[in-house]
Amino acid sequence: MTETVVPKRIGFRSVFVLLISVSIGLLLLSKPLMSAGLAKDWSVFLATGISASVGLSYVLLKIEGPVENASVKKKRVLLAVVVSFLISFILAFVAK
């Protein structure tokens, strides 16, 4: 069976893990970033981007079919980071 960068389907457990990781990331990271001097919009953007990247990477690498191929792992992590920060940017700055 060949490994693909994007899994065929995403289950309910994966969505739950992603939502929990983003929620915890926002709770834990947004206040310290604001106290470090960042504006509220930028702290929400960074907190959401970081936590979504971690959560989506975990979902793509561990839950939705673990992969053996190193290049597929790298592509999945890169995909997770790009998608997470893109959606975080849209939510923080465009969809006000």
How do residues 10-50 score in pLDDT, each as one tens digit? 789 999 999 999 999 999 999 999 999 999 999 999 999 99
Is residue 31 a part of any domain in this protein?
Answer: yes
**What b-and-e string marks burial along 21-45, b requiring 16 or more CB atoms within 10 Å of the CB?**
bbeebbeebbeebeeeebeeeebbb
5 located within any domain: no
Query: Considering the entire predicted model, what is its pTM?
Result: 0.87
In a domain, 2, yes or no: no
Report residue 44: phi and psi, to 5°.
-65, -40
Examine residue 55 and state whether it is found in any structural domain, yes or no: yes
The reply to whether 4 falls in a domain is: no
In-domain check, residue 1: no
Number of folded domains in the chain? 1
- Residue whose pair of structure tokens reads 């834990």 in the numeric block: 28
Short-list 21, 23, 5, 24, CA closest to 13: 21
Give the domain range for residue 47: 12-94
On whether the CB atoms of residues 52 and 23 are closer than 8 A, the answer is no
Mean pLDDT of 59-79: 88
Residue 82 lies in a domain: yes
